[in-house]
Amino acid sequence: MTNAKDKLMIDRLAAAAREGKISRRSFMNYSVAAGMTASAATGLWGTTAKAAPAKGGTFRLGAHDGNTSDTHDPGTYVTFAMIQLAHTFRAYLTLIEPDGSLGPDVASEWSATPDAKEWTFKINDRATFHSGGKVTANDVIASMNHHRGEASTSAAKALLADVEDLVDNGDNSVTFKLGSGNADLPWLMTDYHLPIIPANEDGTANWQSGDGCGPYKLDNAEFGVSYSLTRHEEWHLEGAYFDAVEITVLNDPNARQTALVTGDVDAITQLELKTLALLQRDPNIEIDNVPSAAAITMPMLIDQAPFDNVDVRNALKLAVNREELIEKIAFGAATVGNDFHHSPAMPYWPDDIPQREYDPEQAKALLKNAGAEGLTVNLSVADSVYSGAVDMCVLYAEHAKAAGITINVQREPNDGYYSDVWLKKPWCAVQWGARPTPDVMYSLAYKDDAAWNESHWKNPRFNELLRAAKAELDEAKRAEMYREMAMLARDDGGTVIPFFPNFVYARRKNVMHGENLAASWQMDGARAASRWWFEG
């Protein structure tokens, strides 16, 4: 070590290791940066690190938002139950660590050319499929090609639109060749649609088998009902402390919370927030409340009347009292939205954009200008969208009355909501999971040709900026592009965004986890099964 400052850093790292507050990977990186040799850092870790959690037990999770229409095709993943399952039995090139940083998964390392047009991912030599056999470059290429090409119906097609070629380098690595630079490509590889699955002999992806290379092997799947898994002993990363995992779909929030209180499950997703205070008084329950970049959106199909008029769209954005929704529906566990899908939890946050306020008089004026005074519209929603989602829409309808707007709240069935309502009915409520960067979010939901362009919004300037920002390496210029895109979405787009909800979920007291929880998805980035453990 080189000086007293480095010595102080080493001492702090050692303390963090003793307390189990730092991963081995981070410990090694910081120790070497502080002047230690790799061998010395390894020795220090071995003498100071807190013992790894003991393995054992069956982790029983009660999960919301599962549909009987779910499938193993990763291009069709849409419900949270499938996202949770995917991160339990499948694996990705990269992953989001509990502290929000980007980490390795199937790819042990990656690098780019200076223009970010070529990215090479080295495959972890230890990565194996549950059916046997190592993960190869062919498997990675087949997994990515499943979402590419004219015939692809994958929701992730837009994310890989710039990929012109995928090359097997013959050394257990794959190079992505892009038409234009993309500084976010390694982050994009964490998208839940892009797991690594085995290749068939003809080069297509064998998704039908339910095979994977994740921490747990899928033994039984009854879509929309339950899933049974056992540990994959050859998993390539640390963790997977439970012997087995049982995921039960419990769409009804009361059923989920009852199952937790009675001990029928060990953890549940998405608490009913109005009962949060009651659960907090239960000595056997622990609550996790994690700020996130998840979003509640209310997309209007702008190619259908009356939403084809921008004044109508903006009137509806002005007719919602966001602060009251956060107070009465989210019980304070949310960040106010501003009608663009970019949250303070993402990089390049444009904090100087004026906050849109509740203004029913201005909404009235816009409707008069549009010839739409006395507007009546339907808003579809289901209980599974968000804790209190129906009440949220009913309260919004009350707000809108002051602007002369009648919102008819239509309560839809939980089962099939994302296949039968979202992207089909003219106006509905949706919950989006967090994405790591604005490029990923905008490419999925705002790009003109994206399969999940939920409002059918097509703004030429927005798409021009999206392409330019993706390849821009100057951080300041990139931030200014994202600011302009946010303004375009706010003032011309077809989506009301009332707030960004915290992830609020719960577990029995004997279920333990690390100091940090990933904010990319509920349940520690949907990786609770591989990161958590039972006490003792």
pLDDT digits (tens, 9 = 90+) for 199-252: 999 999 999 999 999 999 999 999 999 999 999 999 999 999 999 999 999 999
Mean pLDDT over 276-282 rounds to 91
Residues 483 and 520 in one domain: no
Which of 179, 209, 239 is the last residue before a domain boundary? Answer: 209
pLDDT digits (tens, 9 = 90+) for 53-104: 989 999 999 999 999 999 999 999 999 999 999 999 999 999 999 988 899 9
State how far the alpha carbon of 465 is from the alpha carbons of 159, 284, 424, 439, 480, in Å.
16, 51, 28, 10, 10
59 inside domain: no
pLDDT digits (tens, 9 = 90+) for 410-447: 999 999 999 999 999 999 999 998 888 899 999 989 99
Domain of 397: which CATH number?
3.10.105.10
Mean pLDDT over 144-166 rounds to 94
Residue 339 pLDDT more than 70? yes
258 inside domain: yes
Which one is predicted more confidently, 1 or 39?
Answer: 39
pLDDT digits (tens, 9 = 90+) for 471-502: 887 889 999 999 999 999 999 999 999 999 99
Burial (Cβ within 10 Å: 0-12, 13-18, ≥19) of residue 184? buried
Residues 429 and 324 in one domain: yes
170 inside domain: yes
Q: Which two tokens stand for residue 340?
A: 């663009």
* Pairwise CA distance, residues 488 & 49, whole Å: 50
Q: What is the pLDDT of residue 436?
A: 85
State how far the alpha carbon of 341 is from the alpha carbons of 188, 195, 460, 510, in Å.
17, 24, 18, 37
435 inside domain: yes
Residues 345 and 239 in one domain: no
Band of pLDDT at residue 2, cut at 50, 70 and 90: very low
Residues 236 and 313 in one domain: no
300 inside domain: yes
Which of 168, 192, 209 is the last residue before a domain boundary? Answer: 209
Domain containing 442 equals 295-501
**Residue carrying the six token digits 């797991």:** 195
69 inside domain: no
Residues 418 and 495 in one domain: yes
Residues 312 and 274 in one domain: no
Residues 278 and 304 in one domain: no
State how far the alpha carbon of 331 is from the alpha carbons of 8, 387, 395, in Å.
42, 11, 14
Residues 334 and 472 in one domain: yes
Residue 3 pLDDT more than 70? no
Residues 435 and 383 in one domain: yes
- Domains contained in the chain, number: 4
77 inside domain: no
192 inside domain: yes
Residues 248 and 199 in one domain: no
Domain of 161: which CATH number?
3.90.76.10
pLDDT digits (tens, 9 = 90+) for 6-36: 666 676 677 666 555 566 666 776 777 777 7
Residues 400 and 497 in one domain: yes
Output the pTM of the full model. Answer: 0.77
Q: What percentage of the chain reaches a pLDDT higher than 70?
A: 93
Which of 194, 209, 224 is the last residue before a domain boundary? Answer: 209
Band of pLDDT at residue 408, cut at 50, 70 and 90: very high
Residues 251 and 358 in one domain: no
